[in-house]
Structure 1
Amino acid sequence: MSVEYATSSHRETVVVIDTSESHRRQVEHALTSFYRIATYGNTADALTAMSKSPPCAIVIDRGAEPQESCDFIATLRRNPTLAATPVVFISSSDDPATRKAAKDSGADSFLAKPYRRSMLIRAISQQINRAIERRWEKLPTLQRDALVGTMDIFNSVSDVIESGEPIAYSKVTDACGPLVEAVGTGEFRVILDEVRGHDNFSYAHSLGVATLLLLFGYTIGLKGDELSLLGSGGLLHDVGKMSIPYDVLNKVGALSKEEQDLMRGHVTGTHAYLEKCLDLPRNILLIGNQHHERLDGSGYPKGLKGAELNELARMSAIVDVFCALSDRRPYKPAQTAEQALQIMLDDMPGKLDVQLLSLFREMLLDSGR
């Protein structure tokens, strides 16, 4: 049976069409933190719902019924309302004939089972963000590599979460290498500008945190491996959110007590994922564990205060708050840098390190952020 979704939310909704309930649940789980999901066991129900409210993308299994999947996609391409909607075609068989049939019908991407979670996320994201990512291809090599490399490693973390395998720290530092260089040479502004319109809000936020933590690190004189640590820690600091449903992450209005607990649990989830990597520097865990702690003890998850928070924890808290305020999200517009800093000064007395916040403000002004 279908899962209905509101017209106002169609731009964040991915429709999944598959006769197999278990595969529908698998796809729903894989995409849980990235999009709203509407699942359908047949093409007729899906078409009725989509005609009323077009989704941002469609995932369809080859065995869809009653209308065969290739015929159904061809029907969509003749529908003025749905003709441009990206379609990901999933098949149990991977042979040239099946791939050709999917392409000829109008499918945009093809995935053969079994596939990694990151492959599905990437297939959808590439289509939704086509215009943005095509702009990335035209950027200078350094900025392009910083964006593409960090996005790929961020999405691959979803596979680690799914499989329970450890994260390879060397892969994270390699991916962050161009970002570290771009910040060091002052060529990072275009990276922040280009990621703003991306539909993966968690990635955009994490890249922003990584970039500004690196800038903070350069400002206080950190070098070499210390900078790699800051970039990697910023990129990974919120990976626990990959298990939180999209509707909770992007809810308009106040969260319920249960939703608040679920959101706050992302810190514990982040720690659980990151500690699997034995060669991961402990300070990366510290960034993940303490970026929501506050000097007055009002933060979470442990309510640490004062001297219990070292300089790295204080820096990451400032950067995370600033990025959260200046990020564009479905439930709020982005604040300007000036507005975000003023909110931090006016509304968070005693919570953030005043000296570091002053240094952070000067850093942003000097960088023209």
Structure 2
Amino acid sequence: MATAMPAAEHSRKILVAVIDAHPGHRQQVAAALTSFYQVAVYERFDQAMESLAGTPPCVVLLDEKALPRLGGDPIATARRLLKGVPIIRTLARPIQQLGSAAYDTDACLEKPYRRSTLIKTISGLVNKSVEAGWETLAPHYKESLRRTVDSFNNISDLIDKGEPLVYQEITEACGPLVDAVSNHDFKVILNGVKGHDNYSYVHSLRVATLLSLFGHTIGLKGDDLSLLASGGLLHDIGKMTIPHEVLNKPGRLDDGELQVMRSHVPKSVDYLQLCDSLPKGVLTIAAQHHEKLDGRGYPGGLKGSQLNELARMASIVDIFGALTDRRVYKEPMSPEDALTMMTERMGDEIDLALLALFRAMLLDAATPSA
């Protein structure tokens, strides 16, 4: 039997389908995933295929005990009905016992497995599927996406090793993005990361794109645009050290969790300062994008004239990005609603003159001629 999601959830895409004949394990897996994904659970394979064939999920988690004993090759059936959706097989015996059948699915997990292993496996397959779609794009779009995601992932490894980033590599990775922005040809890049499972990368790429577009609109060029794009891509790298359960928590953060979340700003600054060649502007974006004009921001409680134009621009773009991002626990706000909310409710926090320019920029970018 399939477990229906609440009515409010039907508007959101099911990301992970869990097919498992054991009710206890089925619910345990679903509970482990709901902080990260929308989940649908099924007891029977045939029921799952009937339900999912019309609206395929991003990943299927299939326990071998849920496979039908008769009726041909169920994995091949799933492949045909779900049109290439990645399948993770779970089993309560050594994977070696599967022999060549271990290659019928995209991944195998032997019970008991860690929650972190499950999430990492799902995320990797989702991103691999999305990134495979980039191969069909024009070369300059593909290069922009591929180089920025590779650089972003490489930073994670550098942080783990305590090694500084190489700023020139970041600017080179952002080069195709800056070119696209300068030519008003960036929408394909933003559409290319829809469905990507690395939220921090998606948000950072959107901020990099919109911040450099903002700069282009007010007349910045060359190295200045490169600085904005690089600053946008790097502004939240401290979040790479934040636990997933805090970063992706659906509800309101408690005081302790809020403190952990806010620590991403000083962590970003501390890491970026390891790079001797980093422009001051990139550090300003990372350090001040959560500051507010009324002094109620963090981490420094800066206000008014203490915030330069770069910090004010970054704050607007970051807030707009967060409101219009899709998260597991919320639908994205429309750009119009986000801009209205920012104008009507955040007048004490952000620079309304710059916000008006930002709104005009988005309206201009939305016109066919742009």
TM-score, length-normalised on structure 2?
A: 0.71
| Counterpart residue type for residue 356 of structure 2 | S
Instruction: Return closer, same or farther for 1:170/1:76 CA change in 2, 3 Å cut-off.
Output: farther
Q: Of residues 126, 129, 133 in structure 2, which corresponds to 1:128?
A: 126
| Counterpart residue type for residue 184 of structure 1 | S
Specify the alignment match of 2:222 in structure 1. 224
CA distance, structure 2, for counterparts of residue 87 and residue 260 of structure 1: 34
Specify the alignment match of 1:301 in structure 2. 299
CA distance, structure 2, for counterparts of residue 171 and residue 257 of structure 1: 38
Matches within 5 A, 1:352-367: 352-367=350-365
Instruction: Return closer, same or farther for 1:127/1:363 CA change in 2, 3 Å cut-off.
Output: same
CA distance, structure 2, for counterparts of residue 324 and residue 207 of structure 1: 12
Q: What does the per-residue CA deviation read over 1:183-238, in whole Å, with 9 as the maximum and x for residues that have no partner?
A: 01111011112212211111111000000001011111111111111100000100
Give the CA deviation at 1:134: 2.9
Matched residue of 1:196: which SS? coil
Instruction: Return closer, same or farther for 1:272/1:107 CA change in 2, 3 Å cut-off.
Output: farther
Q: Of residues 258, 273, 276 in structure 1, which corresponds to 2:274?
A: 276
Q: Gaps spanning 5+ residues in structure 1: where?
A: 1-6, 15-33, 37-47, 59-74, 89-97, 111-119
Q: Gaps spanning 5+ residues in structure 2: where?
A: 19-34, 38-42, 49-56, 62-72, 90-95, 109-117
- 2:272/2:278 contact within 8 Å kept: yes
Specify the alignment match of 1:244 in structure 2. 242
CA distance, structure 1, for counterparts of residue 78 and residue 313 of structure 2: 50
CA distance, structure 2, for counterparts of residue 80 and residue 181 of structure 1: 42
| Counterpart residue type for residue 298 of structure 2 | Y
Deviates more, 1:284-293 or 1:123-132: 123-132
- 1:86/1:128 contact within 8 Å kept: no
Q: Of residues 313, 325, 328 in structure 2, which corresponds to 1:327?
A: 325
CA distance, structure 2, for counterparts of residue 329 and residue 205 of structure 1: 10
Matched residue of 2:253: which SS? coil
CA distance, structure 2, for counterparts of residue 241 and residue 267 of structure 1: 8
CA distance, structure 2, for counterparts of residue 190 and residue 182 of structure 1: 9
Give the CA deviation at 1:87: 5.2
Matched residue of 2:290: which SS? coil
Specify the alignment match of 1:175 in structure 2. 173
Q: What does the per-residue CA deviation read over 1:61-89, in whole Å, with 9 as the maximum and x for residues that have no partner?
A: xxxxxxxxxxxxxx99599799965559x
Pair 1:343 & 2:337 matched:
no
CA RMSD of aligned residues (A): 4.0
Percent of aligned pairs with the same amino acid: 49
- 1:12/1:35 contact within 8 Å kept: no
Instruction: Return closer, same or farther for 1:80/1:179 CA change in 2, 3 Å cut-off.
Output: closer
Specify the alignment match of 2:68 in structure 1. none
CA distance, structure 2, for counterparts of residue 103 and residue 169 of structure 1: 45
CA distance, structure 1, for counterparts of residue 150 and residue 76 of structure 2: 34
- 1:169/1:280 contact within 8 Å kept: yes
Pair 1:211 & 2:209 matched:
yes
Matched residue of 1:210: which SS? helix
- 2:86/2:105 contact within 8 Å kept: no
Instruction: Return closer, same or farther for 1:299/1:179 CA change in 2, 3 Å cut-off.
Output: same
- 1:233/1:287 contact within 8 Å kept: yes
Q: Of residues 120, 133, 145 in structure 1, which corresponds to 2:143?
A: 145
TM-score, length-normalised on structure 1?
A: 0.71
Specify the alignment match of 1:44 in structure 2. none
**Number of aligned residue pairs:** 307
